[in-house]
Amino acid sequence: MKMDKREYDAIVVGSGPNGLSAAIAMQQSGLSVLLLEGKHSIGGGLRSAELTLPGFIHDICSAVHPLAAGSPFFKTLPLDRYGLQYIVPAHPAAHPLDDGRAAVLYHSVTQTAASLGADQHAYLDMMEPVVKAWPLIAADVLGPLHYPRHPLALARFGLPALTSALSLTKRFNTVQAKSLFAGMAAHSIQPLSNLATSAIGLVLMATGHLQGWPIPKGGSQTIADALADYFLAIGGKIETGFYVKSLTQLPSSHAVLFDVTPQQLLQIAGHKFSAIYKWQLERYRYGMGVFKIDWALDGAIPFTAPECLQAGTIHIGGTIDEIASAEQQTNRGFQPDKPFVLLAQQSKFDPSRAPNGKHTGWAYCHVPNGSKVDMTNAIEKQVQRFAPGFRDTILARHTMNTQEMEEYNPNYIGGDINGGVIDLSQLFTRPALRWSPYKTSAKGIYICSSSTPPGGGVHGMCGYYSAKRVLKDVFGMKMKPLGM
């Protein structure tokens, strides 16, 4: 499509949560901002659609949003005025076991601890300091490496967070506690033996205790729509159906921010970069991919453990040993028979997602990057294992392998939904080792995707911090720190 060629202060390429956040932060600061999206609808990983049958609304990628609800940047925006409503399930998450019981992340720290029996005090010792500290350190943890505003509070989080999940769970004795934390840490999409895999588990548990793991009413698309509507309301401009392959396609501007990963950035602007910066981007590492499945269901998923019927998110993988083995095998390029499965049952709490009396199911498992193996049977066997009769409820299904995930969203290289491995060696140096990870070696060109700190997740913080850097570098402007 043709675009007007008037000059903008800044252009943002890509309308995922980080691109939208970057655009909003700059527009709020008085700049003229153009947001470009290659698809015909905005959102990136925040899209919803009738993937199976009419009337069944499925989240194509992200589904449950503890980090969005707790995002230090999103909290500053009046998104409720633009239609965003969160629904908080009775329990944030549950982890069924083969004996019919389930380990549960309750809203209350003390209730969760009490449910873990002999590990009650160990859980309190681990989580109470993190829950207390999180409101003070969230903006620091969800950002680039810098001197924190609350160093002591950050240290109380950082010391256990930097350990591996397998090491941290040694403080527990019960199967329930070990399995519960393993399921949380497996969101890191890495072997649980890796250093810093405890960080994501601690963050997800803390946010669950502080505000739950909410789902957006009507689908994840409503988050993107609210962000876009607010951006337009404050004077921003959005063009969809404009896929950027070259810098020459863009109107004149003082800065361009790319909500893309290093692979696409090299294709679009690689000729502008220094040799050392190109060398670093070319060696950027992508992680495991995902195989995604959505179901239209005749009824609710019949989990044996009653607590699972009240949880928005279910972690399916059995014991910590099973989960650790599955993630290790996948990381080595093999596909386990019993994969770790992340499942959401949004329609249990949001009736707008399915026709009356019917339900939806959403799930994925980790697979080797680029895998085309159909994991439908393996995933459904895992669900059936803890919910006998599940397969009898299936009316229709929709699946996406890693190649189809990447075709849907080019940022998902090989099915990697995190924008690259978030291990210790690539946590603060993503996408390259630089004073500012958001600034490329080319004047006026920046990156604002999940390939920058703090990485994957719907929180918009990569976009916020990239915009903050642009405002300082290009326009000599300072943004007020979040939470002040």
Domains of the chain, CATH where assigned: 8-66+72-83+216-285+411-475 (3.50.50.60), 96-209+287-408 (3.90.660)
For the beta carbon of residue 435, count every other beta carbon within 10 angstroms. 6
HSE (CB half, 13 Å, CA atoms) of 472?
12
CA 231/CA 249 separation, integer angstroms:
23
- What is the chain's percent helix, strand, coil content, to nearest 5? 40, 15, 40
Residue 1: predicted pLDDT = 45
CA 126/CA 115 separation, integer angstroms:
15
Tokens representing 318 are 């059995």
DSSP track, 220-231: THHHHHHHHHHH
Q: What 3 state SS string does 149-206 have?
A: CCHHHHHHHHHHHCCCHHHHHHHCCCHHHHHHHHHHHHHHCCCCCCCCHHHHHHHHHH
pTM given for the model: 0.95
HSE (CB half, 13 Å, CA atoms) of 92?
25
10 Å CB burial of residue 475 (0-12, 13-18, 19+) is middle
Residue 428: predicted pLDDT = 79
Residue 20: predicted pLDDT = 98
- What stretch of H or E contains 255? strand 253-258
Helix (H, G, I), strand (E, B) or coil at 93: strand
Residue 5: predicted pLDDT = 62
For residues 328 and 88, is the Cβ–Cβ distance under 8 A?
A: no
**Nearest by Cα to 291 from 189, 185, 421, 394:** 189
Q: How far is CA 187 from CA 96, 184, 194, 200, in A?
A: 17, 6, 13, 7
Helix (H, G, I), strand (E, B) or coil at 411: coil
Q: What is the CA radius of gyration of the chain?
A: 21
The sign one gets for the Cα dihedral 241, 246, 249, 250 is: positive
Length reported for the chain: 484
The residues facing 311 across adjacent strands are 91
CA 276/CA 433 separation, integer angstroms:
10
CA 184/CA 197 separation, integer angstroms:
9
pLDDT values of the chain reduced to their tens digit, one per residue, 484 residues: 455 567 999 999 999 999 999 999 999 999 999 999 999 999 999 999 999 999 999 999 999 999 999 999 999 999 999 999 999 999 999 999 999 999 999 999 999 999 999 999 999 999 999 999 999 999 888 888 777 788 888 888 888 999 999 999 999 999 999 999 999 999 999 999 999 999 999 999 999 999 999 999 999 999 999 999 999 999 999 999 999 999 999 999 999 999 999 999 999 999 999 999 999 999 999 999 999 999 999 999 999 999 999 999 999 999 999 999 999 999 999 999 999 999 999 999 999 999 999 999 999 999 999 999 999 999 999 999 999 999 999 999 999 999 999 999 999 999 999 999 999 889 878 999 999 999 999 999 999 999 999 999 999 999 999 999 999 999 999 988 786 5
Residue 384: predicted pLDDT = 98
Residue showing tokens 């549960």 = 104
- What stretch of H or E contains 364? strand 359-367
For residues 413 and 261, is the Cβ–Cβ distance under 8 A?
A: yes
